[in-house]
Structure 1
Amino acid sequence: MDDAMVSVKRIGVLTSGGDSPGMNAAVRAVVRVAAQHEIEVVGIKHGYYGLINDEIADMTPHSVSNIIQRGGTILKSARSEEFRTAEGRKKAAKNLKKHKIEALITIGGDGTFTGANILSNEHDVKVIGIPATIDNDIIGTDETIGYDTALNTALDAIDKIRDTADAHERMFLVEVMGRDAGFIALETSIAGGAELVLLPEELTNIKEVKRQLNDMLQHQRRSSLVVVAEGDETGGAIKLADKIRGDFAQYDMRVCILGHIQRGGSPTARDRVLASRLGAAAVKTLVEGHSEIMVGIVNNALKITPLRVAVAKKKDLDYSLIELAKQLR
């Protein structure tokens, strides 16, 4: 082994925030690639909550066998209000020292990275971030772990809803996840052939929504499907239905909220490969001396982004896709 890659002997890995399919594949890659560098790995259960409360145990290449296909996270996840305080982070740093953990690999979204960045600055802890969120709203990577699986889960549900909408000539308002970002809504609307999509990134004009739906019905479309991101300012699909139902009383309008089914399930091949690449890259960049960075894949190549940059700005939607969705109505 290269002498330049021997400084780190023991690292911790945790998953934090909302779970996403592929987190287990990332954990597996971290543990197995670390072993090749003769680095010990400990798993921290329940994210920062577990770090504060000393839920820490050794992991081996054998302990991560048969998990790559599993959704969720074997390390579990939890929110931690205590970690938001200086005293809570002090406890976390104390446990890192107690277990001789020299660096921390955090798998999650912007909240996870914000916590890691503050912990690093306050207590001189080496940290590497791996982007994992179904929202796909982290800059510095083309896709985040879990997005492809969530997208396909939502699309599968929308295809089934389309069948029953067509059979009964109904109008369906389908709500997908996306409190602050419309990536899932936008791409499922295109792939699912939706007549309309409402996004957090665009202001929703109720009069315009009614006009567009009327135009579609006048063209004798037997059914209509509207995809609504949960973060759309109308308040989601239920409130949207309340605002427009009176104008379409002659049609059978139904609301379907996909909810947390989008978080679950076995990760797609694409997510497993992405998670494996990023898990391996996290270890590689760590032993090369990097810290306070996030690893991502851009144009099929590894990209390193400072954590402070990753948490400072949300990724923008591809507005050419918004235009495409409008053209395909």
Structure 2
Amino acid sequence: MKKIGVLTSGGDAPGMNAAIRAVVRKAIYHNVEVCGIVAGYTGLISGHFRKLELGSVGDIIHRGGTMLLSARCEEFKTKEGQHKGLQQLKNAGIEGLVVIGGDGSYRGAKALTELGFPCIGVPGTIDNDIGCTQFTIGFDTALNTVIDAIDKIRDTANSHERTFIIEVMGRNAGDIALWSGLAGGAETIIIPEDNDDIRHICARLKKGEERGKKHSIIVVAEGVSSGIELGKEIKQLANIDTRVSVLGHIQRGGSPTAFDRVLASRLGARAVELLLQGKGGRAVGMQNNQVSDHSLDEIFKGNHSIDLNLLTLSKELSI
């Protein structure tokens, strides 16, 4: 293999640049040319390519976002769009592709693989919702952003003796809410994998009030409910006023943590190794602190799991 491509797709995640850097420099180390595809599958269909040299990825390891830009592409979900993208790859002499992104990005990689073009997926999403890997690139950084917000909001909750609801991202996964809630000492964590009954939540809040507790932090994953709607329910059932903070896209930005930089470097480099070994239709990940790889079919069959023992621990510690 003499020339490979790399793209980032879907929602951006801190550490994507570190992964791009690893792909480019690992490939060049092995005398393989690298072509960057701008704006994900949209750029693939339109042929928006640029050659990436060693200097092209200098001074990006610490930057959030993605230097290759990202976009969602409805056209690539169609067979016609997929064939257009495949033809652009062939026209450019690209022989393998590294796709950095989440579930939708992997589906695009799988489609190209089924057309006979080797693709390797690298998990880049703050949601941490990809199967066959314990951590995805960007999750740790987003987690620390949320924890920082919780700490600051707790100061105000304490000063005004209020209950605060903090809504976090995660799509249909509760990893961000669970980990940040436990690390931030939240009294209540609400996640899709264990959607607590609103009456139980209100009962815990009332019990806290009875023992003299003046403020509380509730962390809710967006896949369960909006913070605003949850606040209305609590007011109606328990007559407790709440204040809501929706953290939103602040969770997707910022300089990646050391963990995400190392993770991205390891996974990006391994993706190149797999292509050079003639493999495609696979995705890299981390299991027990070791880099692993699995078929894309296996990743789609196995749903991402969450450690509910952490939720139990949170409830025990927030009595």
Do both share a fold (TM > 0.5)? yes
Give 3-state SS (helix, strand or coil) of 2:294's partner: strand
Q: Quick check: 2:231–2:241 contact (8 Å CA) kept in 1? A: no
Q: What residue in structure 2 maps to residue 4 of structure 1?
A: none
RMSD after superposition = 1.0
2:12 corresponds to 1:12: no
Quote the offset at 1:156 in angstroms.
Answer: 0.3
Q: Map residues 70-149 of structure 1 onto 2, 5 A cutoff.
A: 70-122=63-115, 124-149=116-141
Quote the offset at 1:311 in angstroms.
Answer: 2.3
Q: Distance in 2 between matches of 1:300 and 1:175?
A: 30
Q: Distance in 1 between matches of 2:99 and 2:173?
A: 22
Q: Distance in 1 between matches of 2:134 and 2:74?
A: 30
Q: Distance in 2 between matches of 1:301 and 1:204?
A: 34
2:203 corresponds to 1:211: yes
Q: What residue in structure 2 maps to residue 314 of structure 1?
A: 303
2:233 corresponds to 1:243: yes
Q: What residue in structure 2 maps to residue 164 of structure 1?
A: 156
2:43 corresponds to 1:50: yes
Q: Quick check: 1:22–1:275 contact (8 Å CA) kept in 2? A: yes
Quote the offset at 1:188 in angstroms.
Answer: 0.8
Quote the offset at 1:247 in angstroms.
Answer: 4.3
Residue identity opposite 2:104 in structure 1: G
Q: Quick check: 2:157–2:164 contact (8 Å CA) kept in 1? A: yes
2:292 corresponds to 1:303: yes
Q: Distance in 2 between matches of 1:12 and 1:301?
A: 25
Deviations 1:109-148 (A, max 9, x none): 11111111011102x1010110111011112222100000
Structure 2: gaps (5+ residues):
none
Residue identity opposite 2:134 in structure 1: D
- Give % identity: 52
Q: Quick check: 2:132–2:302 contact (8 Å CA) kept in 1? A: no
Q: Map residues 268-279 of structure 1 onto 2, 5 A cutoff.
A: 268-279=257-268
TM-score by length of 1: 0.95
Q: Distance in 2 between matches of 1:92 and 1:283?
A: 20
Q: What residue in structure 2 maps to residue 286 of structure 1?
A: 275
Residue identity opposite 2:76 in structure 1: F
TM-score by length of 2: 0.98
Quote the offset at 1:51 in angstroms.
Answer: 0.1
Q: Quick check: 2:235–2:241 contact (8 Å CA) kept in 1? A: no
Quote the offset at 1:208 in angstroms.
Answer: 1.2
Q: Distance in 1 between matches of 2:40 and 2:210?
A: 53
Give 3-state SS (helix, strand or coil) of 1:157's partner: helix
